[in-house]
Amino acid sequence: MTVLDHRHLAPVPGWLPGATGPRSDPAPLLPDAAPVRVLGTPALDKADPLLLRELYRRLVVGRRYNQQATTLTKQGRLAVYPASTGQEACQVAAALALREDDWLFPSYRDTLAVVSRGVDPLAALTLLRGNAHTGYDPRAARTAPLCTPLATQAPHAVGLAHAARLRGSDTVALALLGDGGTSEGDFHEALNFAAVLHAPVVFLVQNNGYAISVPLTQQSAAPSLAHKAVGYGMPGRLVDGNDAVAMHSVLSEAIEYARNGGGPTLIEALTYRIEAHTNADDATRYREAAEVTAWREHDPILLMDRHLRAAGILDDELVQDAADEAEALAARMRAEFHAEPVLDPHALFAHVYAEPTPQLREQASQLAAELAAESEVHER
Partner 1 sequence: MSTAVQTRTSTMAQALNSALKDAMRADPTVHVMGEDVGALGGVFRITDGLTAEFGADRCLDTPLAEAGILGTAIGMAMYGLRPVVEMQFDAFAYPAMEQLVSHVAKMRNRTAGAMPLPITIRIPYGGGIGGVEHHSDSSEAYYTQTPGLHVVTPATVADAYGLLRASIASDDPVIFLEPKRLYWGKAEWDPTAPVEPIGRAALRRTGRSAVLITYGPSLPVCLEAAEAAKAEGWDLAVLDLRTLVPFDDETVCEVVRSVGRAVVVHESTGFGGVGAEIAARVTERCFHHLAAPVLRVAGFDIPYPPPMLEHHHLPGVDRILDAVSRLQWEE
Give the amino acid at 309: R
Identified catalytic residue from 77, 227, 273, 307: 273
Give the number of C-alpha atoms closer than 13 A to the C-alpha of residue 7, restricted to the C-beta side.
Answer: 9
Put residue 363 in one of left, alpha, beta given phi > 0 → left and psi -120 to 50 → alpha.
alpha
Cβ of residue 153: shortest distance to partner 1, in angstroms? Answer: 8
Residues contacting 157, CB < 8 A, separation 6+: 103, 105, 144, 173, 174, 175, 190, 201, 203
Residue 342 phi, psi dihedral angles, 5° rounding = -90, 120
Count other C-beta atoms under 10 Å from residue 113's C-beta: 31
C-beta closer to partner 1: residue 19 or 352: 352
Cβ of residue 344: shortest distance to partner 1, in angstroms? Answer: 11
Name the strand (E) or helix (H) holding 163.
Answer: helix 154-166
Cβ of residue 111: shortest distance to partner 1, in angstroms? Answer: 15
| Rounded-to-integer distance, Cα 201 and Cα 364, Å | 41
CA distances from 292 to 49, 333, 344 (A): 31, 28, 43
Cβ of residue 187: shortest distance to partner 1, in angstroms? Answer: 10
- Which positions lie near partner 1, rule CB under 8 A? 1-6, 132-134, 137-140, 144-145, 149, 152, 154-164, 166-167, 173, 185-186, 188-190, 192-193, 196-197, 347, 350-354, 357-359
C-beta closer to partner 1: residue 23 or 74: 23
C-beta closer to partner 1: residue 52 or 127: 127
| Rounded-to-integer distance, Cα 139 and Cα 174, Å | 15
C-beta closer to partner 1: residue 136 or 272: 136
C-beta closer to partner 1: residue 50 or 140: 140
Fill in the DSSP letter of residue 15.
S
Identified catalytic residue from 188, 286, 287, 306: 286
| Rounded-to-integer distance, Cα 79 and Cα 73, Å | 6
* Beta pairing, strands 210-211 & 214-215: antiparallel
DSSP β-bridge partners for residue 128: none
Give yes or no for a contact between 109 and 66, defined as CB atoms under 8 angstroms apart: no
| Rounded-to-integer distance, Cα 229 and Cα 140, Å | 31
Cβ of residue 338: shortest distance to partner 1, in angstroms? Answer: 24
Task: Please indicate whether residue 277 is annotated as part of the active site.
Answer: yes
Cβ of residue 7: shortest distance to partner 1, in angstroms? Answer: 11
SS3 131: coil
SS3 109: coil
Task: Please indicate whether residue 353 is annotated as part of the active site.
Answer: no
C-beta closer to partner 1: residue 157 or 176: 157
Least Cα distance to 247 among 45, 89, 42, 58 occurs for 89
Cβ of residue 380: shortest distance to partner 1, in angstroms? Answer: 32
C-beta closer to partner 1: residue 115 or 190: 190
Task: Please indicate whether residue 65 is annotated as part of the active site.
Answer: no
Identified catalytic residue from 64, 162, 277, 307: 277
Beta strands in 24-136 (DSSP E): 103-105
Residues catalogued as catalytic: 273, 277, 286
